Structure 1
Amino acid sequence: MKRRAVIIGVSSFALLGGCLSDDEIDARGDIEIVIDDSAVDLSEDRYQAEHAENHSIDFHLHGGSDEWYMEGEERVTFAEAIDLLPYFAFATDDGDHVLEHDGATYDEGDASTEIAFIVNGDGVEPTEYALRDGDEMRLEVTTDD
């Protein structure tokens, strides 16, 4: 899968705190990712922008929490947001959503896999839904394994 990311240097960490121009987006919300009834601990250092080798200012986590931050010039979709998180990748293959996390691949094309994308309690099409300030994101992956 092709990853899109913006690599920032140490001098750019001020941007993580919300130092943005009037033309840029400054949004945040909650995120939860659950794989086979087990929540991914997104507060772990490896998912946090301060510690990740490959992260994006467009969508990121920081401050040791699982709250998401979106800063940049354009809103990202749910799918783009997941793809920008360290240790995650998202793609669409023949209309099926495909998620990679820590070397495991979850493909909706497999009859034993279901992936649900939920914002504020409602299911959304992840490639079309652009995130808004205050959105509560939930990604649920269920397999028969």
Structure 2
Amino acid sequence: IIRSHVKDGYEMAKNAKMPKVITDIIRQHHGTGLVSFFYQKALESGRYEKVNEEDFRYEGPLPQTKEAAIIMLADSVEAAVRSLSKPTVGRVEGTVRKIIKEKLNDGQLDECPLTLQELDKIGDIFTHILSGIFHTRIEYPEKELKAEIEGSGAK
């Protein structure tokens, strides 16, 4: 099911006569990336004599455009940041940088024209956006919250 969503999404978009640029991005947005959660589970289970990593990779192709690569990165970093229990700005940034580095090291960005400088900017932007969405708020005691609301002119 996890890996089939790319093929299913591609077929749905193709049947809906979506532009080729969209269907290409759908096909490329996971590249040949490893579905690491299930791969690790298979390794740890001890039920298999040999676990073939290729069986736990998406079919690809790799992202061919900057746009497809950015969507790949956005999908991955959003999911990873969403799973953080206490998403401070530092933890968000660390997670974003880790995901980008893993994609680079795994060769997932080898066929797209993104530069390292652009990847650094993308990392900054993702960190800024995701920190704003997922940051944890301080829980104010009721008395302080009431004083803050009254002090802001809200009644």
**Whose strand proportion is higher, 1 or 2?**
1
TM-score scaled by length of structure 1? 0.29
Q: Which has the larger radius of gyration?
A: 2
- Normalised to the residue count of structure 2, the TM-score between the two structures is 0.28
